[in-house]
Structure 1
């Protein structure tokens, strides 16, 4: 089935056939980045668990792998797109169920160099991305947080590559103007 250099057939093709080794390889390649990316996206619900959203995306991917017509390289974009749809659904659900007043006071922003540890850094990144328009925040989360390329980011978000580049440029400009050291 596979040798030291990789599978004889693409992992996605093997996963379609139900090969658990192929699913493990796909999971190992994408699971960490998927959860990291999801943690950067606001869901509107403080109780929403990003690990649960990732699990839901993997479940959909497993049930719909037969419908997927891409190769191993396109799998990440497809999977992240599924996860993005789950985040959007969580936002809509949260907006429908919101029963508490939101404060109109913006949170003070801190330059990144004042952040000291990984937990503080993650929270600072979330605050920075939350102050951006949705598309700009999603693009920056994809490219600068989880290190996806422009083409994959475009597939995930369903926009063109130039739109990804423009959104990233605008988002970074907004962050710099707000005092973030990016």
Structure 2
């Protein structure tokens, strides 16, 4: 995007430019869904895909209120999604619903391709390792190391300062190294 202002995509999306929305969606949707799957699940009726879709709808409705560059958009979008997920979790605690297992063979039946991000998401090992971390550390590692957000976007999404993100990630990775170096650990 040489020569374009730093918020060209967001500005274009505000005017209803469908190509700009597709570009923003393509850049962030899969990572957003993977990240939502790494969070504690709340209500079975609010799947990560549903929460991601709801976050996109909310982003479209509130785009006029967004103040930031194209680079800031991911952090803002993840913040919206995090708030929706927190609301879903609170609702589930109040309703005490239990999710049913998902039939993942449905993807193959419908012919959906599995890309690298989906491959990471499907790994039980990733979720198992994240479960050994505090919620904050798991969210930071999921944002940065699983879905590839930068420190600034992670900080914005999680409502943290960038320094706190770096510290949480450093501690989390140290804890994961200790877990993986145990003779009895088999990820």
- Identify the residue that residue 126 of structure 1 maps to in structure 2: 127
* Residue 170 of structure 2 corresponds to residue 169 of structure 1: yes
Instruction: Tell me the matched-pair count.
Output: 162
Q: Which stretches in structure 1 are left out of the alignment for 5+ residues?
A: 101-117
The equivalent residue for 1:31 is: 29
User: Are the counterparts in 1 of residues 34 and 121 from structure 2 also a CA contact under 8 Å?
Assistant: no
* TM-score w.r.t. length of structure 1: 0.78
User: What CA distance in whole angstroms lies between the structure 2 residues aligned with 1:120 and 1:154?
Assistant: 22
Q: Which residue of 2 aligns with 1:137?
A: 138
Residue equivalent to 1:88? 86
TM-score (norm 2): 0.76
Q: Tell me which residue corresponds to 2:157.
A: 156
Q: 1:168 to 1:143 in 2, by over 3 A?
A: same
- Which contiguous aligned blocks of 4+ residues in structure 1 show a shift greater than 6 angstroms? 4-9
Query: Is 1:75 aligned to 2:70, yes or no?
Result: no
Q: Report the alpha carbon displacement of residue 88 of structure 1 after superposing the two structures with TM.
A: 1.0
Q: Secondary structure at the match of 1:79?
A: helix
CA RMSD of aligned residues (A): 2.6
In structure 2, runs of 5+ residues without a counterpart are 99-118
Contact 1:42–1:126 (Cα < 8 Å) also in 2: no
1:94 CA displacement: 1.5
1:7: how far off?
6.5
- Alpha-carbon distance in 2 for matches of 1:6, 1:97: 52
